[in-house]
Amino acid sequence: MVANTPKGVREIRINPIVPTESVLIATARNMRPQKSEDPAPRDTRAHVDTCPFCRGNEDKTPPEITRINDDSGDWQARIVENLFPVLGEDSNQMGLSFGLQQAMDGYGRHEVIIDHPQHGIAIHEMSVEHLDRLFTLFQTRIGQLYESDSRLKYVLLFKNFGPAAGASMAHTHSQIIALPVVPQNLQDEVRNSREFYDKHHHCIFCTLIDEALTFETTIYDRESGEVVRKIDVGQYVVERGERFIAIKPFASRYEWEIHILPLQHNSNFQTASTEDLADFARVLKRTMSRLDAVIGGAQYNFFLHSQPHGPGYDDCEASYHWHLEICPRTSIPSGFELGSGLFVNTISPELAAEQLRAVQLDTE
Ligand SMILES: [Zn+2]
Ligand SMILES: [Zn+2]
Ligand SMILES: [Zn+2]
């Protein structure tokens, strides 16, 4: 199986977009503590009477912001305010800043999207049509938030699925946090991809997609001349649609991390077309089906990275490229990772991609 990496891999891989986010790929066992017990299983029930997010309990959620209904008038997804917001309305208090310690007011918005009426349904079990409607809803809501308040600099959409990924509510849901600042990792992505663009006149994400599709190389041992490793970069492709591609990053932080990107350059999720979102939904469903088949009951975080709003970010249309990062949680970060900032990944991304690609999916 490890034909391409006969001796296993032990190397530090530099993330080409954010070099400070590097990864130690160490496929030898026991480098990283695996969860000793099985992670708490996720709740797969269809309906739970006491769950505030289940149908029939609409009056038990915080105030509803919007919803989408099916033809019979039943809701398919709802957006409600977060009961325990991380950020909130103006508190009118001065940020506590002294010396080098700078703080800012935690101003922003925090909303919950109840993704589906069915309590424990996984993304890969939802229909493509449903996922299409859901991401269209995300797009609309993100746009409304940006328009509503120019102080909001970044609207982060993310999902925690399963207790191992930090989901405190078992009912499937996503979250939107509108921030008064652009998160540091996004700033890094934007800045570094802009630098690449200035030098090469090409988007780094598009370049990585091209490489993922075409590049091939062989590494020989300097003394013996033996083939040490053959890298067929096409091997990083997990799933491909008409308009989207799912890739296993070369420097994957998480064993089963996958990124989904539009094949045609586009910096901003807000400008994705109806046709784009339809294909995105299909690629997402197929990708999540592959993940589920390989790791079974995947618990994960996903988040959307797209061009931030406002001054300082309107010139990155050509250099930035929106994407969804999916990070399944199969192990716990150790002191080494916290202390070094170097993620440890114990499954070679090449092998992980091969296993994901090998899954036979029913054609729809
Ligand atoms: Zn529920
Ligand atoms: Zn691009
Ligand atoms: Zn990103």
Ligand nearest, relative to CA of residue 305: 3
Name residues with Cβ closer than 5 Å to ligand 3, which is an ion: 305
Single-letter amino acid code for the residue at 86: V
Question: Is a pLDDT exceeding 90 seen at residue 176?
Answer: yes
Q: Please compute Rg for the chain using Cα positions.
A: 21
Distance from the CA of 69 to the center of ligand 1, in angstroms? 17
Which ligand does the CA of 253 lie closest to? 3
Q: pLDDT band at residue 279, thresholds of 50, 70 and 90? A: very high
DSSP designation for 289: H
Say what the pLDDT of residue 273 is: 98
3 state DSSP class of 313: coil
* Average pLDDT estimate for 24-29: 68
Q: Tell me the CA–centroid distance for residue 6 and ligand 3, in Å.
A: 31
CA distances from 78 to 49, 159, 302, 307, 338 (A): 18, 15, 19, 25, 37
Query: Ligand 2 is a single-atom ion; what residues have CB below 5 A from it?
Result: 203, 205-206, 265, 321
pLDDT tens digit sequence for 120-166: 999 999 999 999 999 999 999 999 999 998 888 999 999 999 888 88
pLDDT of residue 25: 76
Ligand number with the minimum distance to the CA of 209: 2
Cβ-contact 51, 41 below 8 angstroms:
no
Question: 325 alpha carbon to ligand 3 midpoint, in Å?
Answer: 6
Ligand (nearest to CA of 267): 2
pLDDT of residue 360: 92
Q: What is the DSSP string of 207-232?
A: HHHHHHHH-EEEEE-TTT--EEEEEE
Query: For the chain, what percent of residues have pLDDT higher than 90?
Result: 55
User: Domains plus CATH for the chain?
Assistant: 45-84+106-358 (3.30.428.10)
Name the band, by pLDDT with cuts 50, 70 and 90, for residue 28. Answer: low
Token pair for 287: 């990708």
> Which pLDDT tens digit goes with each residue over 43-58?
889 999 999 999 999 9
DSSP 62: S
**Residue 117: closest CA among 82, 158, 74:** 74
323 Cα to the center of ligand 3, angstroms: 6
Flag whether pLDDT at 213 surpasses 90: no
* 3 pLDDT higher than 70: no
